[in-house]
């Protein structure tokens, strides 16, 4: 059975340069990994690289003839240095010796690889490898600075045991790390890449005494689905969650809170560094005026609880941070659209998501139905799985923010 390759490297044209260092043996593995990920790979070797590893090995692994000569008429006729320079989507020189770094820093062009580097418009990545003293030498370090200033990507060597028997900094990065670096260069930008999304989710608990509290039926499923989807769409995600029976989605920073006041404090603090705030939490509007320090005993026929209004987290965040893109949720049992429109205005939001609750809808379900409203628009998302709705909602938000910015 042929396995489908899922990689951003499919059909990307990668030119691997090899200069003369012992780490060249690792480059064979790098070429193999790039080929496995679907890249088209060509290899260019300096004459001294051919002393460390044979062109035949690299030819067999890449499936292409290896380029070694600048002044060879036959080789130039097949694919000359200018064609190779144009062909590459990315160049990675692994290993880059101290001598080759010096050549690049001075713009030399007396072998095929350095000539290609002068002639190309492709990004050039360097994976230096050398004895630790050569790496630490001021000449090498100055060359490194020059190359970084000229927009070469220099992937500094790692620490460890060296081929010469010494221990220190100079080992070339491993093939797998270099393959990931190359792949990341081609990873498509996600709709929420670069955005920081803050989400409140779940219910709050308002303590009455040490064993009792006021809460609601929210499961947190919608908020957690949004957190997971936002992460998958490339955002940095922070979740402020009331007590729920759900694990934090992978890669999401979660702050657990109990009461509305705690949630308010966390959200107000974290909103400072957020770009988008999505309030899905079912926050208790009121909390007991006094929390009894001891369990309240049965004593009278009627027990009255005095409740005080809780801070409105969404209202305070949107008024305190007017540049934040704020999205509220309106869980309603009646007059869905009208109530939601009023909340959109009163809480000064960019968007509100209304969903019907009660009658076995909304709370603690895996499905939902959303009406998404903003100042001059409205989209209905019919009943569906909360994960799917979360993704659709975020894609709508991402279109709005890219229009705003
Ligand atoms: N919300 C909040 N803080 C509160 C109350 C609500 O952040 N103290 C947020 C919710 O997370 C939701 C939105 O405000 O995004 C709407 O909440 P809702 O309780 O439906 O609205 P209220 O303003 O409380 O109005 P009402 O209870 O009268 O329907």
List, for residues 143-169, the tens digit of each pLDDT value. Answer: 998 998 888 999 989 988 888 888 888
> Does 69 score more than 90 pLDDT?
no
Q: Read off the pTM.
A: 0.62
CA-wise closest residue to 352 among 367, 365, 362, 342: 342
Tell me yes or no: is domain 196-289+303-404 CATH 3.90.180.10: no
Cα separation values, 203 from 26, 61, 262, 283, 372, Å: 54, 57, 12, 6, 22
Cβ atoms of 353 and 372 closer than 8 Å:
yes
Dump pLDDT digits (tens) for 248-303: 887 888 999 999 999 999 999 999 999 999 999 999 999 999 999 999 999 889 99
208 ligand 1 Cβ < 6 A: no
Helices (H), 193-326: 221-232, 260-270, 313-320
SS3 category, 77? helix
What pLDDT score does 248 carry? 86
What does the angle CA 316 – CA 317 – CA 323 come to, to the nearest 5 degrees? 130
What is the number of the ligand 1 atom nearest to the C-alpha of 285? 8
Is 9 a pocket residue for ligand 1 (Cβ < 6 Å)? Answer: no
Residue 78, pLDDT > 80, answer: no
Choice from 314, 320, 347 to test ligand 1 binding pocket (greatest atom count within 8 A of CB): 314
CA–CA distance, 8 with 153 (Å, rounded to integer): 19
For residue 50, indicate whether it is catalytic.
Answer: no
Long-range contacts formed by 30-34: CB under 8 A, 24+ apart: 30/92, 30/94, 30/175, 30/178, 30/179, 31/58, 31/61, 31/62, 32/61, 32/175, 33/175, 33/176, 33/179, 34/9, 34/179, 34/182
Res 310 pLDDT > 80: yes
Q: Which of 328, 342, 358, 397 to mutate to test the pocket of ligand 1 (most atoms within 8 A of CB)?
A: 328
Distance 356 CA to ligand 1 centre (A): 14
Residue 75: what pLDDT?
Answer: 67
Percent of the chain with pLDDT over 70: 94
Strands (E), 8-103: 13-18, 40-45, 90-96
Q: Which CATH number fits domain 13-186: 3.30.70.100, 3.40.50.1950, 1.10.3720.10, 3.40.190.10?
A: 3.40.50.1950
The half-sphere exposure of 111 on its side-chain side, counting CA atoms within 13 A, is 19
Q: Which of 44, 50, 117, 164 is catalytic?
A: 164
pLDDT of residue 76: 67
Give the 3-state secondary structure of residue 235: coil
**Element at 168 (helix H, strand E):** strand 167-171
Asked whether the predicted pLDDT for residue 404 surpasses 60, the reply is no
Residue 1, pLDDT score: 47
Beta carbon of 352 within 6 Å of any ligand 1 atom = no
Ligand 1 contact via 283 beta carbon (within 6 Å): yes
The mean per-residue pLDDT over the stretch 95-109 comes to 97
Whole-number Å distance, alpha carbon 261 to ligand 1 midpoint, is: 14
Spans of all domains in the chain: 13-186, 196-289+303-404
218-244 residue pLDDT tens: 999 999 999 999 988 989 999 999 999
């Amino acid at each position: 059975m042929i396995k489908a390759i899922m990689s951003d490297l499919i059909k990307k044209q990668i030119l691997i340069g090899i200069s003369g260092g012992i780490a060249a043996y690792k480059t064979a593995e790098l070429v193999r990994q790039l080929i496995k990920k679907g890249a088209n790979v060509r290899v260019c070797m300096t004459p001294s690289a051919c002393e460390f590893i044979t062109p035949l090995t690299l030819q067999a692994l890449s499936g292409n003839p290896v380029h070694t000569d600048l002044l060879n008429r036959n080789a130039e006729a097949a694919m000359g240095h200018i064609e190779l320079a144009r062909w590459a989507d990315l160049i990675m020189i692994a290993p880059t010796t101290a001598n080759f770094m010096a050549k690049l820093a001075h713009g030399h062009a007396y072998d095929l690889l350095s000539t290609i580097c002068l002639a190309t418009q492709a990004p050039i990545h360097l994976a230096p490898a050398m004895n630790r003293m050569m790496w630490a030498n001021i000449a090498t370090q100055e060359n490194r600075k020059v190359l970084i200033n000229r927009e070469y990507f220099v992937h500094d060597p790692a620490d460890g045991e060296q081929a010469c028997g010494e221990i220190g900094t100079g080992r070339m990065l491993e093939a797998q790390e270099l393959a990931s670096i190359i792949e990341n260069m081609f990873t498509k930008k996600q709709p929420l890449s670069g955005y920081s999304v803050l989400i409140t989710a779940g219910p709050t608990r308002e303590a009455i005494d040490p064993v009792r509290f006021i809460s609601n039926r929210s499961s947190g499923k919608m908020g957690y689905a949004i957190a997971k989807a936002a992460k998958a769409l490339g955002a940095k995600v922070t979740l402020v969650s009331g007590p729920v029976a759900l694990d934090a989605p992978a890669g999401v920073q979660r702050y657990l809170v109990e009461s509305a006041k705690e949630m308010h404090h966390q959200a107000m603090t974290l909103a400072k560094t957020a770009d988008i705030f999505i309030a899905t939490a079912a926050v208790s509007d009121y909390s007991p005026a006094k929390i009894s320090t001891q369990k309240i005993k049965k004593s009278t026929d009627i027990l009255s609880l005095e409740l005080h209004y809780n801070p409105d987290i969404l209202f305070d965040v949107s008024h305190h941070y007017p540049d934040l893109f704020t999205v509220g949720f309106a869980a309603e049992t009646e007059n869905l659209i009208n109530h939601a429109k009023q909340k959109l205005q009163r809480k000064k939001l960019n968007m509100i998501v209304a969903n019907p609750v009660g009658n076995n809808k909304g709370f603690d379900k895996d499905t939902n139905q959303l009406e998404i409203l903003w100042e001059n628009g409205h989209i209905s998302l019919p009943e569906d799985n909360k994960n799917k709705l979360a993704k659709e909602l975020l894609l709508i938000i991402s279109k709005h923010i890219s229009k705003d910015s």
